Structure 1
Amino acid sequence: MKDLRFKTDSRVESVFNNYPPEIRKKLEILRSLIIESAQNIESLSLLEETLKWSEPSYIAKNGSTIRIDWKPKNPDQYAMYFQCTSKLIPTFKMVYHNMFRFEGSRAIIFHLKDSIPKKELQACITAALTYHQVKHLPTLGL
């Protein structure tokens, strides 16, 4: 793995600390998968962790923002959100239609009891973090 600069907004920690403990653990797993995926992208030197819409968000040059969150109105699920105007979720649905649950063209939904298909999710994360480099490919390089 190469050196990846990771720039984080101090407010993100507070958001994580305000999630219920079981949810925080699940979202920390998603966060770790995003960081690990970013470390494996040779062309990526900086990953920024910030807040967008009060949700932990991950931004890379030449990428599309990834957000993660949990909503009290759906207490048994949490999600990874992608830009709804991109080809990301439509492509993920085509490639991984039986692997994930989706919400429209904006999110992959996880239930608390679900196991996360790590390899496939990391491929989705990599496609998002390199989106402007792969958006011309038929399946975004998946």
Structure 2
Amino acid sequence: MKPAYSSPEIEAAFAVFDPLAREGLLRLRQLIFRTAAETPEAGRVEEVLRWGQPSFITPETKTGSAIRLGVPKGARFALFVHCQSRLIPEFAAVFPAWDRFEGTRAVLFDDPAEVEPIRHGWLIKRALTYRIRPPLEVPA
């Protein structure tokens, strides 16, 4: 079944990815919307384009840090967050040795099967509520 996109531009952005990357990115997109539906404090999530890539923001509540989906240099596809946030360091501390990262800005994937709803849903929920959740105490 073809996913419903918020605009023809968003649909076109997904169309430029190779089929395996597109499948993985669509899994992440579905996980973003599912996690948002289970996180009422985040409010409505809007799908927009940022730097030509599908991005997800919380326009009314402004509780979240933008989540962006795209293709990095070192992997088939990735979930990006703001590089100056503490999201990736917290995620890596809670789930050590599970994922590959591009600095503090992205979780890298090579196969759609690597998208794990519990683990990556945790990161998405933290991003959607970034401005209202206290930072985690991360062990040193």
Which category describes the TM-score, using the shorter chain as reference length? Answer: 0.7 to 0.9
Distance 1:113 1:10 in 2: 24
Q: CA deviation at 1:64?
A: 0.2
Give the 3 Å change call, closer, same or farther, for CA 39–113 of structure 1 in structure 2: closer
- Helix, strand or coil at the partner of 2:41: coil
After superposition, the C-alpha distances for 1:50-91 in whole angstroms (9 at most, x for unaligned) are: 1111111000121000001124x54x5210000011110111
Structure with the bigger percentage of strand: 1
Structure 1 residue 116 corresponds to structure 2 residue 111: no
Identity among equivalent positions (%) equals 33
Partner residue, 2:27: 29
- Structure 1 residues without counterparts, runs of 5 or longer: 1-6
TM-score by length of 2: 0.84
- Structure 2 residues without counterparts, runs of 5 or longer: none
Distance 2:18 2:137 in 1: 36
- The one-letter code of the counterpart of 1:12 is I
Query: What count of residue pairs does the alignment treat as equivalent?
Result: 131
- 5 Å-filtered alignment, 1:6-21, equals 8-21=6-19
Q: Point out 4+ residue stretches in structure 1 off by more than 4 angstroms.
A: none
Quote the RMSD (CA, aligned, Å): 2.0
Partner residue, 2:91: 92
